[in-house]
């Protein structure tokens, strides 16, 4: 791991309560539409891996629709929280750990934004290799340019790398994804475009 990722993970480990208190507890309508659209392409028996489950908000929503989700996080504090909630959660750092093969969907909301561009490129390739044909990589990034480390929200340093839609689409297609859909969405902070909600399909048109 890089030092930026080490610091970011330590901040999450040390500030779980602060993160939860300042994060929406339920998916917004834009998030639900995005998740629903991708789940409709899968059977309820699909093998879904979530990277960066945090306190389980998105996995809970997907499971409410009849899908099973393997929760994982690189933060041991979040994994402990998920397990205390009664979930089968595993510690997984996608930068340093292998992913299981035969996945139908990898879901990673607000995770790749903590990686440098080189790290994100490596993760995209790793996810591609883990997916079945027609498997889907579904993830979100923050819109913007450049990178920064900021104490905002947690009062502890977290690294962010910002992306434009054309740039992340280029990386996904270079990795072999043949269908990419990107939607700009706002959130509770503003109606202005703030997030990129992304889906990429391996080996088939969306």
What are 97-122's pLDDT values in tens digits?
Answer: 999 999 999 999 999 999 999 999 99
Average confidence (pLDDT) over 140-144 = 97
pLDDT at 42 over 90: yes
Average confidence (pLDDT) over 84-96 = 97
Grade residue 12 by pLDDT with cuts at 50, 70 and 90: very high
pLDDT confidence of residue 187: 73
pLDDT confidence of residue 28: 85
Grade residue 2 by pLDDT with cuts at 50, 70 and 90: low
How far apart CA 21 and CA 153 sit, in angstroms, is: 10
> What share of the chain in percent tops pLDDT 90?
87
Q: How many CB atoms within 10 Å of residue 69?
A: 22
How far apart CA 48 and CA 109 sit, in angstroms, is: 13
pLDDT confidence of residue 190: 63
Mean pLDDT across the chain = 94
Range 3-201 has CATH code 3.40.50.970: no
Q: SS in 3 state form for the chain?
A: CCHHHHHHHHHHHHCHHHHHHCCCCCCCHHHHHHHHHHHCCCCCCCCEEECCCCCCHHHHHHHHCCCCEEEEECCHHHHHHHHHCCCCEEECCCCCCCCCCCEEEEEECCCHHHCCHHHHHHHHHHHHHHEEEEEEEEEEEEECCCEEEECCCCCCCEEEECECHHHHHHHHHHHCCCEEEEEEEEECCEEEEEEEEEEEECCCCC
Average confidence (pLDDT) over 116-131 = 98
pLDDT confidence of residue 191: 62
Two structure tokens written together for 161: 């790398």
Domain ranges, ordered by start, for the chain? 3-201
Higher pLDDT, 78 or 194: 78
Average confidence (pLDDT) over 153-165 = 97
> What share of the chain in percent tops pLDDT 70?
95
Provide CB contacts within 8 A for 170, sequence distance 6+: none
pLDDT confidence of residue 3: 86
pLDDT confidence of residue 205: 44
Two structure tokens written together for 19: 């993160």
């Amino acid at each position: 791991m890089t030092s930026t990722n080490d610091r970011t993970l330590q901040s999450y480990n040390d500030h779980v309560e602060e993160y939860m208190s300042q994060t929406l507890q339920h998916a917004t309508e834009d998030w639900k539409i995005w998740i629903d659209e991708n789940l409709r392409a899968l059977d309820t028996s699909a093998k879904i891996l979530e990277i960066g489950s945090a306190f389980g908000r998105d996995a809970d929503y997907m499971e409410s629709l009849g899908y099973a989700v393997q929760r994982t996080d690189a933060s041991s504090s979040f994994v402990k929280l998920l397990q205390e909630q009664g979930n089968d959660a595993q510690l997984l750092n996608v930068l340093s750990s292998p992913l299981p093969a035969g996945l139908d969907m990898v879901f990673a909301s607000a995770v790749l934004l903590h990686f440098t561009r080189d790290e994100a490129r490596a993760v995209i390739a790793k996810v591609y290799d883990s997916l079945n044909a027609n498997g889907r990589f579904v993830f979100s990034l923050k819109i913007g340019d450049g990178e920064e480390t900021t104490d905002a929200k947690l009062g502890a340093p977290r690294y962010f790398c910002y992306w434009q839609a054309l740039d992340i689409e280029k990386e996904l297609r270079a990795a072999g994804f043949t269908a990419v859909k990107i939607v700009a969405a706002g959130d509770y902070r503003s109606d202005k475009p703030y997030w990129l909600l992304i889906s990429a399909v391996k080996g088939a048109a969306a």
